């Protein structure tokens, strides 16, 4: 059985930088993630809060339990909070974003300023096509000046290839150096031009180990916006959906996301043997401290790849 992280993919499997047009299908994610050819491991990013909604940042491995399909599994890997993260900023650059881009980009840069100094970033801009904001030879950066240039890429125009952009970004995360992997997706519209079908994208998210935060900028005049889709993407991955009331609230939303990322544990376990033919398994993480049950948030399912490596 192969499971949840494929570090064996070569750099040549993804064209980093430049762009692919709507006529080009982004490479399919192969069977989730595999640590190596002979080690299977599911990794979860988990945030923990107390009953007062405050983050709990001082837990140990012994405070946690993992249930796979209702049966406890031993924890084989554990990482404390505020470990370095790979973050993809996936930003709508379609024509309807013209009046909103400046506020979004300033919020994204403020987010980067608040981050762990060892975090690494990449930027994906999307409209009719999906465009990597970084140069081809630079898949990730921790340089804020380079990040600024990547975010301020071109004038908003065209339609919205949202699904293609997320599929591209999930694949890009396969090259990450950090265990924790996050996408922040900002859009004011649904998808109206992608080659990637929504069911296929949702399968890819289930097979991914990325935590996805989505920010929907609601415009009553925009008939394409589908908040339910953005909510579902976030929920499947264990992330959150945000819908700011005002454009000025976007910076506060980015700050909330930053806090959540900074307070996530990384917990790993070896899944039980099974058919391994793309089945979906449930996973539940619980935590206690001094007899008090805490509130854990992470993904609730993961997809097991088949023996052939195809979801």
Which sequence spans correspond to the domains of the chain? 83-262
Tell me which DSSP letter residue 36 carries.
S
Q: Where are the alpha helices (DSSP H) in the chain?
A: 101-113, 144-151, 162-172, 198-207, 227-237, 250-262
Q: Distance between CA 225 and CA 232 in Å, rounded? A: 14
Residues of the chain below pLDDT 50 = 1-39, 308-311
In contact, 290 and 11? CB cutoff 8 Å: no
173's tokens: 């995360």
Give CA separation, 224 vs 94, 114, 137, 217, 236, in Å.
Answer: 12, 33, 35, 12, 22
pLDDT of amino acid 305? 61
pLDDT of amino acid 279? 86
Please, which residues bridge with residue 104 across strands? none
Cβ neighbours of residue 118 closer than 8 Å, sequence gap 6 or more: 84, 142, 178
Nearest CA-CA partner of 171 in 208, 122, 134, 125: 208
Triad 204, 209, 212: Cα angle to 5°: 80
Backbone angles phi, psi at 19, to 5 degrees: -155, 165
pLDDT of amino acid 23? 34
Q: Where are the alpha helices (DSSP H) in 47-174?
A: 101-113, 144-151, 162-172
Nearest CA-CA partner of 210 in 294, 124, 130: 124
Query: SS3 of 82, please?
Result: coil
Q: Distance between CA 228 and CA 230 in Å, rounded? A: 5
Backbone angles phi, psi at 101, to 5 degrees: -60, -45
pLDDT of amino acid 242? 96
Q: Exposed (0-12), middle (13-18) or buried (19+): which is 152, by Cβ within 10 Å?
A: middle
Backbone angles phi, psi at 119, to 5 degrees: -65, 150
Tell me which CATH homologous superfamily contains domain 83-262.
Answer: von Willebrand factor, type A domain (3.40.50.410)
Q: Distance between CA 34 and CA 45 in Å, rounded? A: 16
Taking the whole predicted model, whether its pTM rises above 0.75 is answered as yes
pLDDT of amino acid 190? 84
Cβ neighbours of residue 308 closer than 8 Å, sequence gap 6 or more: 31
Triad 28, 177, 164: Cα angle to 5°: 30
Give CA separation, 256 vs 62, 250, 263, in Å.
Answer: 28, 10, 11
Q: Distance between CA 43 and CA 76 in Å, rounded? A: 10
């Amino acid at each position: 059985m192969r499971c949840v992280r494929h570090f064996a993919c070569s750099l040549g499997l993804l064209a980093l930088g430049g762009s692919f047009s709507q006529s080009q299908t982004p490479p399919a994610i192969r069977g989730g993630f595999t640590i190596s050819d002979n080690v299977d491991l599911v990794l979860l990013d988990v945030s923990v809060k107390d009953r007062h909604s405050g983050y709990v940042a001082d837990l140990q491995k012994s405070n946690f339990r993992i249930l796979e399909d209702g049966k406890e599994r031993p924890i084989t890997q554990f990482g404390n909070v505020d470990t370095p993260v790979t973050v993809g900023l996936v930003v709508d650059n379609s024509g309807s974003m013209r009046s909103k881009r400046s506020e979004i980009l300033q919020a994204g840069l403020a987010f980067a300023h608040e981050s762990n100094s060892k975090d690494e970033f990449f930027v994906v801009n999307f409209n009719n096509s999906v465009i990597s904001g970084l140069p081809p030879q630079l898949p990730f950066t921790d340089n804020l000046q380079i990040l600024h240039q990547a975010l301020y890429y071109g004038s908003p125009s065209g339609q919205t290839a949202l699904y293609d952009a997320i599929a591209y970004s999930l694949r890009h995360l396969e090259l990450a150096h950090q265990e924790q992997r996050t996408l922040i997706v900002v859009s004011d519209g649904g998808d109206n031009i992608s080659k990637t079908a929504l069911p296929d994208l949702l399968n890819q998210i289930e097979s991914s180990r990325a935590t996805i935060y989505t920010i929907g900028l609601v415009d009553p005049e925009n008939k394409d916006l589908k908040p339910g889709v953005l909510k579902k993407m976030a929920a499947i991955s264990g992330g959150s959906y945000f819908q700011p009331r005002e454009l000025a609230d976007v910076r506060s939303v980015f700050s909330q996301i930053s806090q959540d990322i900074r307070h996530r544990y990384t917990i790993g376990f070896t899944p039980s043997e099974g058919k391994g033919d793309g089945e979906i398994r449930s996973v539940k993480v619980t935590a206690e401290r001094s007899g008090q049950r805490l509130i854990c948030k992470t993904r609730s399912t993961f997809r097991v790849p088949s023996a052939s490596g195809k979801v």
